[in-house]
Amino acid sequence: MQDSATDSMGQSTLNEPTLKQAALKQAAFEQATLEQAALKQAALKQSAAEKSRFERGGFEGSRNRGALIAIGVGGLIGGTLDLTQACVLFGWDVPYSIAAGLVGPRAVHPGAAMWLLGVLLHFFICFSFAAFYYASSRRLPFLREYPLVCGLAYGMGLHLVMSLVVLPLSALHARGPYELHDLIVGLLVHMVVMGLPIAYGVRWFSKPA
């Protein structure tokens, strides 16, 4: 019986390192499993973040392209119609008068450079007004939702700004007085040929804010 007890104690003593080793292996395995799960979760989060940034970047890029198209279409159509009607009514020397607003009366003298400068200045102003309308429509959604009414009102405001602010501050220092007939005609023309193309350009080609 003593021998049996001794054998049992020896076997128990021999098994202790084996049990500890097995426990350590199990703990190491569980730790590795947890680390793999954490790495997989981190990879999934990174993938989701990259996808979100990609989609957001694509949306921003699409919206920026829409803004450029809306401003370009509105400014180009409105500027072309406005310049054409002015040249038809007052002659093809109108660009010289526009250039004179920057360089003074000497722009009235004939020359291809001055004529081209006047055209460029005209379209710069038109694109600027179109850009202002677009930027305002980001904060005031009704400008995009009601292009007819807002376009006509914007054309009216555009004409008043040009007549009462831009021209008096230009090199021509044109301060009036303005005849009522000319004022009414100018308002009606700019409401149609400038206000509507700008408003509908933003309505058709820009992305919602």
Would you say the pTM of this structure is higher than 0.85? no
Report the chain's mean pLDDT, rounded to a whole number. Answer: 82
Q: Mind listing the pLDDT tens digit for each residue in 22-68?
A: 666 676 666 767 777 777 777 677 766 555 554 454 446 677 888 99
Question: What would the two tokens of residue 37 be?
Answer: 């799960």
User: How far apart are the C-alpha atoms of 198 and 164, rounded to whole Å?
Assistant: 21
Q: Mind listing the pLDDT tens digit for each residue in 73-88?
A: 999 999 999 999 999 9
